[in-house]
Amino acid sequence: MDSADIRARWLKFFETNNSLKLPHTVVPSASLIADDPNLLLVNAGMVPFKPYFLGEAKPPYKRATSVQKCVRTLDIDEVGKTTRHASFFQMCGNFSFGDYFKEGAIALAWELLTKSVSSGGYGFSEDKLWVTVYQDDDEAANIWEKQIGVPKNRIQRRGMADNFWSMGVPGPCGPCSEIYFDRGSDYGKEGGPIVDEDRYLEIWNLVFMQNIRGEGGDKNSFPIIGELPAKNIDTGLGLERTAALLQGVENIYEIDTTKMILDKASELTKTKYGKDEKTDVSLRVIADHTRTAMMLIGDGVTPGNEGRGYVLRRMMRRTIRNMRLLGSQDLVIAELIKSSIKAMGPQYPELVTGGERILSVAQSEEDSFNQTLKSGTSIFDIAADQSKSTKSKSLSADTAFKLHDTYGFPFDLTLEMAREQGLEVDESGFKKLMNEQRDRAKADAKAKKSGHTDLTQYRAIVDKFGSTKFLGYENIKAESKITGVLVDGKAAAEVSAGSEIEVMLDRTPFYAEGGGQLADNGVIKLANGAVVKVEDVQTPVPGLFVHRGSVVSGVVKNGESASAEIDLQRRLAISRAHTATHMVHKAFREALGETATQAGSENAPGRFRFDFPSTSAVPTSVLNDVESRVNELLIADLQVDAQVMSQDAAKALGATALFGEKYGDQVRVVSVGDWAKELCGGTHVSRSGELGLIKLLSESSIGAGVRRVEALVGHDAYKFLAREHVLLNSLTEIIKGVRVEELPQRISDLIEKMRSMEKEISAINTAKAVTAAGDLLKKSKSTGNASVIIEQLGNGISGEDMRTIALDLKGKLKTGIVVLATINDAKPLLVAVVSAEAIKLGVKAGELIKLGSTILGGGGGGKDDFAQGGGSNADAITKAFAEIAKHIQGKLN
């Protein structure tokens, strides 16, 4: 049974085809980009339903089922070393929100697992299945034995660490019941899961969410402080693990969707899986990471140096590196990604339709990493030479971290290269630096969303007063009541003037930052006369608008009535920018194709930026066409409408959904005439003519495979063009007798003339230097059997001219070594040439330049016969020459 069939059977069974007549709402997999400030990526099947379990939102259905895409990053370094770890997996789940409980969950699980394949089940043999329950859960044990008929000896009880679930923080929790499959005596000892979990493989976990957990404790013991008012069910069956059992293979790396990628890696590297452990580890890493990378890119993640982008970049670079370890020096990522799309496409058709974009992003990252390998290797070589020269046997943690963090050099590659040089790496120091960076990143992310406030403070407000009602689409002002006041993350009854404050209201016209749109500013005026200036609005927990600012006057008291009013001019300017973004997005898709889908944006007063996937710069002609197209549609003064409808209706309408965004069953579609239609929760103008003017300012790269367009709209665009006009007039005044349209050519001619003059000056300087080179021959010194020239030339000589002079000198020496220096723009430049005879004696130009450049505070390298480099400290030339001379003497004497 292939993976696509396993997935389809799961959804069909819970949607319509179970004997208990408990139809579930099929919920599509959420994006891997988690809608949760505490999560980088969705890491469990229940994550999209978390607000319902926590009581932060009311579930729109009593029963639900899904097959959720998940990525776990904690075990990335362990992937491949065993056949158990994987970074991407799919979790099949069925969920009950205050509806059926233990009896229903247990009966449904047993029915699907044991029902025959011909009847739509998985066909597991009943006598191969074992179950575990929590040690005190007599209810679950009795259901398994009395109602399902599982023999008592195949029902085992386990403690809190194994069979009691919680989120690790105060909140919902409850006992679990796990279902295991006995793989037989070839896989281990008899005695059930409590004896051997390699032989008895867990396939399904049923969580009975019935309790409330308190503070403290660990996974073996934590306080249970009460019962939930409504009992819930959360279950999870690992699709890949189930596939391994149903396909009769040894592990998850041999199932259909993974093996297809692994086989492609074997083909490209001409290696065979199962030949030796080292090769197998690399092939498993490649198979796992390629699939995960493909799924992440498919959901809109792009490689970067932070957050999700860093996870993606790390996985892609580990993939490429392992391909190189297996002997492939070619560009390989495209073929691997294609095999991943072929493997997963039957389950996720959007991977096929978005294949061109996914390939584009992946290939661009591979090109970037090839450059990283070159620059990183050069830096590593310099650091390794320094360690050896100081008799150190270890590479510092700072060097390893710099290679990893600044240049994207994989740490395990640094380890391997160090071992080849006979060096160790300060791994503990490196891990400490990584942890410090990770802690800073987590703190920054948390501060952005929650302002350093414990989220339980916000949840308590939602629990007591419900969600904030947003009135901002229709109103700029609203009469409200204060439902919460926080200062420095702590609840406050009243706050005086001059204090920073967070205010929660039951109703608000303020738009909270989201979807690329910046938050509204404005004021909150209390009935007692106090005034709060609002400078930011966030939603740290779903449904709660947190107004951040300062108390301007009076005393703010919790529970007071208040009037909230936004800054109308700022809102209008932001709304113009947001509508302009939609129009530019549509125009780019018309010009470049569907792959130019928005991958990020920011809508601020009078300006906006728009990110989209592209492996190369957008031609100026295309930018001009896009700008012309959108401005023509401003003149057409199209109606801008917003309608709320189902996702299916939005798709039928042709509305565009953005990568990485999470949408509910009901979505808001913003339409600019019949032209641009997009799912969006932001604020917009009423007609396109209100935008006035759109001016694209720039187009540039912001990372591998991602381009950014920055633009102005409305009065800001007009002011920019007015300044440009003044500048143009100033240039025509400076360059007399030239019409405006002739300026580009005239300025180009002047620049070309200047460059020609610079070349003439350089040629004169070089001629002088070559003439003086004859005098340098007289300064050559005999060291061993070689003639050595180490001299500093006059300032301002180019690197190419330095090479000419050095080669000229070497040609006049039989066994010659020439090292020359100059200063250009206050920075030292080094060149070294070594004759074939001197190379045989052990002197190499590349080693001379690495040594000298390091002392000069820079880097460089080259071949044995020619190398060049430089640095930033011109005062160190004398010291560099001394060390180079010492090195040469050591080789020749």
Q: Which residues are annotated as a binding site for Zn(2+)?
A: 578, 582, 680, 684
User: For residue 452, what are its two tokens?
Assistant: 């350093």
The Cα-based distances of 708 to 298, 611, 612, 657, 771 in angstroms read 19, 4, 7, 19, 51
For residue 21, the one-letter residue type is: K
Sequence-ordered list of residues with C-beta below 8 angstroms from that of 498, at least 6 positions apart, any chain = 550, 551
Residue 734: CB atoms within 10 A of its CB come to 7
Beta bridge partners of 701: 707
From the list 341, 334, 342, the residue with the least C-alpha distance to 366 is 334
DSSP string, 189-218: -SS-TTT-TTTEEEEEEEEEEEEEE-S--B
Alpha-carbon dihedral sign for residues 885, 887, 892, 893 = positive
> Tokens 């200036």, residue?
533
The conformation of residue 30, written as its DSSP 8-state character, comes to: P
The alpha-helical segments, DSSP class H, found in 451-501 are 455-465
| Strand pairing report for 607-613 and 522-526 | unpaired
Tokens read off for 509: 């016209």
- Residues belonging to the binding site are 578, 582, 680, 684
SS3 of 334, please? Answer: helix
3-state secondary structure 334-373: HHHHHHHHHHHCCCCCHHHHCHHHHHHHHHHHHHHHHHHH
Torsion of Cα atoms, 654 then 655 then 660 then 664, to 10°: -110
Type and span of the H or E element at 668: strand 666-672
Rg (CA), the chain: 33
Q: Are 101 and 94 in contact (CB under 8 A)?
A: no
Q: How far apart (Å, rounded) are the C-alpha atoms in residues 448 and 487?
A: 16
Query: Which residues have a Cβ under 8 Å from the Cβ of 351 and sit 6 or more positions away?
Result: 294, 295, 298, 341, 344, 345, 358
